[in-house]
Amino acid sequence: MLDLLKRFKFIGIVLAILSVIIISVFYNLLKVEKKLPIYQPASVNAELVDSTIQYQKKYHKIADFSLINQNGETITQDDYKDKIYVADFFFTTCQTICPIMTKNMHEVQKAFITDKEVKMLSHTVTPEIDTVAQLKRYAQEKGVNASKWNLVTGDKKQIYELARKSYLAVKDDGDGGPFDMIHTENFMLIDKERQIRGYYDGTDPKEIERLIEDIKTLKASYKE
């Protein structure tokens, strides 16, 4: 009787181990790796896209740029080479959505503060007001780490063209003329190939959580 019980116990242990192995194998076979989309002008809300590229279905990338950051340094696409980054558009005198967006971008900075692969890039939409000195004050007030996060000013037409034709970020028309004004709550996630991989409401904490998770997913995709 004792031997029979021992046999049943042994069989039970073997079956339990086999069950764990089988479940693990099936889980790995059925698990679908999350892949972030690559956004093209034709797949984005038409209101966000300049009419000249509205029907483009592939090969869209962020254009070359040359702007000045809060420390008076020239920032170009080369400063973001082989980086994953989050971009947005703001202005320092904004009293509505911009303070919330800056606070939430700071959360992204905090989440990846030691990660050299991830950076941020905030473009002012009022460069005539947001001088280098103004951006420097704002950066100090908001806890911006210059090694991670550039606040940039420069040619208004260039900034507006980036918003409409590169980042596909704003509904407002305008090419950067004296009376043009763009305003958007969008954060854009950009990969190492300068492609748009996600859009997020920069005023919504839940969206920021999603952004942080998507950055981790994007980072992991480069290790596959």
Q: Please say if the pLDDT value at position 13 is more than 70.
A: no
Q: Please say if the pLDDT value at position 31 is more than 50.
A: no
Burial 100-123 (b: 16+ CB within 10 A, else e): ebbebbbebbebbeeeeebbbbbb
**Which residues, in sequence order, are CB contacts of 127 under 8 Å at separation 6+?**
153, 154, 155, 156, 159
> Can you give the pTM of this predicted structure?
0.83
Task: Give the span between the Cα atoms of 74 and 96, in whole angstroms.
Answer: 29
Give me the residue spans of the domains in the chain.
1-31, 41-221
What is the model's pLDDT at position 136? 98
Rg (CA), the chain: 24
Model confidence over 182-217: pLDDT tens digits? Answer: 889 999 999 999 999 999 999 999 999 999 999 999
What is the model's pLDDT at position 80? 98
CATH 3.40.30.10 fits 41-221, yes or no: yes
